[in-house]
Structure 1
């Protein structure tokens, strides 16, 4: 069931379906949806990615459509809300919130670590400050097949013993970006949305081959491990992506509640860094990392029947229920 939170700006974009019908791109304004298919002024889009491909051209048209009262509009509640975009590439950020990394590193300390908790926190915090000064974000790739809708059930695989939540701000690429500077990067971001980057926490590190390090395939990419949306909120409506509140509640109890100001690397630096290696394409997602307050910190992981409510300032809200897969 959809949940609602205030959106920044006069409209947003989403992907919807009428029951089991074909998905379609829709303009969301005032609690209603305008079907955008077959509109020549928008290039007759079939998907939201089609709109992102021509973002600078279609944005003024979307403003005009949002301001008009004509056209057949449907209440959001009558439609199924799907993931708002299907990206070709999914780039994810690790270790990008200072307090989150310090908390995780302390929780992952070996049992024979001679440092006190205070000493460990101070040393790890100093390491994070060096990373920020050296301008080295940590980016890895995910699979778009992990994406699911903002209100869909999340299936916890039978083999996953420590499923964890990670609510994140996601930047949505509009104009292709390749080797752009941080000063240029935000001009390539069309919109923002909400992502919950779930993690099988027990599988992050390859304990059988520690020299290889992390196993992102296994720990991040189960089907449905990236609930996305509900909507794409145009970047022009987000005054400052470094001043948004990221909040996740588990069964009504607040677990994450942090400002994006705690990010080591902001959106511009993340997009620029990723673009130095790969050509970012319209519809691609750059996830910016998770703030403090994950299950690893609380010593409590997701279980059958749990309900996660995630919000980010001005971007709406998602609600997902966890369902444990049978062995």
Structure 2
């Protein structure tokens, strides 16, 4: 995949509903405004579309977006683009249909969390718990599979939106993540073909209530028939 020197975004002003935007550097313009100001059959299909709409037929949309970029000159940027600081930046895909996450993939991070939270086999001291966590992660790296989970789309916020933290959480954690925007669906996708399904990337600040992850208030697990 070749990274482009532009991006797609969703933004709004105080008087607008969220709109799909074309971003270059630290400036942005609405796709609708650009298509209307500089009409062309090569990218007119972008008019009236959200970023989510474009992702539904990404191969065709990408061609149109690239055609639009070719038509944008420095004069166009000066006449129609606004600074990020003049608008409210919304989630890039506002809102996506699904959010998939992977967790517990960084060896040192998982070991440190295990020690901080004291989650593991009973009766181990700190040194024993560390060895257990190290062995667990080494085994996962050798023979295991990534942990995957979902998050509701209602948890997604814009870059400068306020975060609502559970009142019982005293010290929420945050992690800088790379978000992968999927542009083509599929199932049982091979590693060799995986990148052909990626439309682009976004920076994500993943905020977590660590105290709510590990359940330490029960000891017994059982199965049912």
TM-score, scaled to structure 2: 0.79
- Alpha-carbon offset, residue 199 of structure 1: 1.6
Q: Spell out, residue by residue over 1:227-270, the C-alpha distance to the aligned partner (whole angstroms, 9 max, x if none).
A: xxxxxxxxxxxxxxxxxxxxxxxxxxxxxxxxxxxxxxxxxxxx
Which runs of 5 or more structure 2 residues have no equivalent in the other structure? 36-42
Q: CA RMSD in A?
A: 2.4
Cα pair distance change 1:42/1:183, threshold 3 Å: same
The 5-angstrom pairing of residues 11-160 of structure 1 reads: 11-37=6-32, 39=35, 41-67=44-70, 68-69=72-73, 70=76, 72-85=80-93, 86-109=95-118, 113-117=123-127, 119-160=128-169
Range 17-26 or range 31-40, more displaced: 31-40
* Mapped pair 1:175 → 2:178: no
1:44 Cα deviation from its structure 2 partner:
2.7
Task: Say yes or no: does 1:201 pair with 2:213.
Answer: no
Structure 1 Cα separation of the partners of residues 119 and 145 of structure 2: 26
**Count of matched residue pairs:** 204
CA deviation digits over 1:120-141, x for unaligned, max 9? 3343223212212224111111
Aligned equivalents of 1:21 and 1:93: distance in 2? 35
- Mapped pair 1:10 → 2:5: yes
Contact 1:15–1:24 (8 Å) recurs in 2: yes
The structural deviation recorded for 1:148 is: 0.5
Q: Tell which has more relative contact order, 1 or 2 (C-alpha 8 A, sep 6+).
A: 1
Which consecutive aligned stretches of 4+ in structure 1 deviate over 6 angstroms post-superposition?
Answer: none
Q: Which moved more, 1:39-48 or 1:178-187?
A: 39-48
Q: How far off its partner does 1:159 sit?
A: 2.8
User: Mapping of 1:272-311 within 5 angstroms?
Assistant: none
Q: How far, CA to CA, are the matches of 2:111 and 2:119 in structure 1?
A: 15
1:200–1:34 CA distance, 2 compared to 1 (3 A) = same
Structure exhibiting the larger radius of gyration computed from Cα positions? 2
Maintained 8 Å contact 1:31/1:75: yes
CA 1:75–1:114: 2 relative to 1, 3 Å: closer
Deviation of 1:20 (Å): 4.0
Structure-2 residue corresponding to 1:166: 175
Contact residue 119 and residue 214 of structure 2 kept, 8 A: no
Q: Hey, which of these two has a bigger chunk of strand by percent? A: 1
- Pair 1:100–1:194, CA change in 2 (3 A): same
